[in-house]
A and B are shown apart, each in its own frame.
Chain A
């Protein structure tokens, strides 16, 4: 019969994975309790039935991956130049507009502020394009779903 020292299911699992210290009192209990011993062997039996997930990488996988990564890096570098151009034009137009419309005493301060082009470029660089858009789309859908479900 189970007694108060019998291990919880979580502790049995920790024992199975060798996550209990050897001098732990729960380990001593296991050595003396036929019931817990039986529970451990049932757990061992179940987990031993799980299929293996052995992965064999083919010889050319590294070369293919290096080519894929390289292609993405080159694409990113290529996208930088138009982004830089567009950002610089936008920034220049913005500065001109601000300069024309701002009052005289604020002109010096405006023209001395950090170039906005840099901020725009770093945003573009940090943005994981597809994942970001996919997440946005999913978020919209999830919001819709939770509204309908009343979650």
Chain B
């Protein structure tokens, strides 16, 4: 006769109270806590592991926000350095991934803002026919997925995004490409949801105008 396996009442209660989908998250949280503990105890390899685990996502986000692989890696590096500085105060009230997401987004806004000032100064000093320094810095050749995308469409998108304010550009990218709800974007950027909505509206309107102009000029060229 097979013996009945009895689950202790407390264990059963815990298992029942956890939705199935929460398991990976709970495991990730406890893994993260264990890593943080190692780092606090002076284990440098713990921080190295943490960097390795988050690099892909952080660089991916930074690349979508700034459009250049090298700049994205620099932003990611800065985010990790700031994380290292903040670790002693890390209380675990937010996940490391959330913290990195927020920091990378804010660093990207600062970076885009500086880039816009640089461009403004450049065009002030040069004649308007000079090539855009940001165009020169772009690396369309390094854009992943280039085999599948029209380089021209990508160039138009990047050019149009640069017409937006740095905040509008980031808000649009986070909503459209990252799929982040507006409430979360507002929390990340420390803005009111209404302000985020208005920025998204202006961004989409500008992009649609530019894309329509681009389609019109392509049609004329093909005739």
Contacts and interface: CB of A to CB of B under 8 A. Distances in A.
A19 interface: yes
B71 interface: no
Interface of B is mostly: helix
A135 interface: yes
B23 interface: no
Contacts, number: 112
**Contact size range, A:** 35 or more
B106 to A, nearest CB: 13
A105 interface: no
B144 A56 contact: yes
A51 interface: yes
21 contacts: A13-B201, A19-B181, A43-B204, A46-B211, A47-B208, A50-B153, A50-B157, A50-B207, A51-B153, A53-B63, A55-B60, A56-B144, A57-B59, A62-B51, A66-B51, A66-B55, A68-B73, A70-B44, A73-B81, A73-B84, A138-B121
Interface of B: 44, 48, 51-53, 55-56, 59-60, 63-64, 73, 76-78, 80-81, 84, 114, 117-118, 120-121, 124, 144-145, 148-150, 153-154, 157, 173, 175-177, 181-182, 197-198, 200-201, 204-205, 207-208, 211-212
